Amino acid sequence: MPARVDRVISLAPNLTEIVFAVGGGDRLVGRTSYCDYPPEAKSVTEVGDTLHPSLERVIALKPQVVLISTASQLEVFTQQLENQNIAVFVTDPHDLEGVFRSIDQIGEILGKKEQASTLVQSLRQRTNAVEQAVKQKPPVRVFYQLSAEPLYTAGHDSFVTDLMRRAGAISVTADIPGAWPKYSSESALASKPEAIILPTGGSMGTGNSKVAEALRQSPAVQQGRVYKIDDDHLVRPGPRAIDGLEEMARALHPDAFK
């Protein structure tokens, strides 16, 4: 890792957001086509999408460090970069603590330690505020619907499961192994969630805006407790995850935030 990093490429949307959040946006010379936040990111050169970045493009941009998320399963790509003597930083936060750590680490790489610290501190403050507010409330049983057809939800290893826990909810699928398991409709129906989180909007557009067939009779639907939250605030382990946390908490426990 070079002492001073001026040229960095990010191969994941959450990592791009972190780079800008710690003030290193001007050092970003490459991003994926999905890295659309903040708006300034869009003027950075694209090197492909998260699953298939172009090795040539990356090399041509002469980065000093490439930030990679393990969720993209780019082991081979990583190896190829290392063969080219390009420093690689791999991270994949599974929970909020992991996000804070990543922010600190990226801050250090970019020589923005101070900004990173400040950022983490304010994020922690907001997190604690939320957790305090919902501590007294009984946790809400929640079903996280990643997609309706086929029915996918968030499992034990998913980042969102941690967020839901902190927002004062129990995910009915919290113990299912894996990060994004395909779920049985029967079990979804039998789980009778009190609330349903629908990640939609953002880069997902209008997709996933309807509750799955199996859940149409659930208590959540009957009581109108179906909450659409911006997908980008929930699945990107970065600073905006705290936005997602707050949005979920407010939706699930409105009276805790008067």
Partner 1 sequence: MMNRVTLRKTIISCALLAAALLLAIVSMSLIGSEPLPVRASLCAIASLGSTSCGLTRDQFDILFQIRVPRILLAAAVGGSLATAGAGYQALLRNPLAEPYLLGISNGAAVGTMTALVFFGANEWTRPVLAFTGALLATLAVYRLARGRAGSTPERLILAGVIVTTFLSSVIVFVTTLMDATRIRSFTFWLLGDLSGTSGALLPVAITVAIAGALILTLNARSLNLLMLGERDAFDLGVEVGRVRVVVFVVASLLVGSSVAASGSVGYVGLVVPHLARLSLGSDNRISIPAAALGGAVFVIVADTLARTIIAPRELPVGAITALIGAPLFIYLLKRA
Which residues are at the interface with partner 1 (CB under 8 A)? 34, 49-52, 146-147, 149-152, 173, 176-178, 180-187, 189-190, 192, 203-204, 207, 213-214, 217
Classify 254 as helix, strand or coil. Answer: helix
Nearer CB in complex with partner 1: 86/221: 221
Nearer CB in complex with partner 1: 152/227: 152
Tell me the closest approach of the beta carbon of residue 67 to partner 1, in angstroms: 17
Tell me the closest approach of the beta carbon of residue 181 to partner 1, in angstroms: 4
Please give the angle made by the CA atoms of 120, 122 and 124, to the nearest 5 degrees: 65
Nearer CB in complex with partner 1: 38/150: 150
Asked if 233 and 200 count as a contact pair (C-beta separation under 8 A), the reply is no
Tell me the closest approach of the beta carbon of residue 119 to partner 1, in angstroms: 26
Nearer CB in complex with partner 1: 46/49: 49
State the Cα–Cα distance between residues 242 and 57, nearest whole angstrom. Answer: 33
The two tokens of residue 161 are 């499961």
Nearer CB in complex with partner 1: 52/62: 52
Tell me the closest approach of the beta carbon of residue 194 to partner 1, in angstroms: 14
Tell me the closest approach of the beta carbon of residue 137 to partner 1, in angstroms: 26
Environment class of 111 (CB within 10 Å of its CB; exposed 0-12, middle 13-18, buried 19+): middle
Buried b (16+ CB within 10 A) or exposed e, 144-171: bbbbbeebbbbbeebbbbbbbbbbbbbb
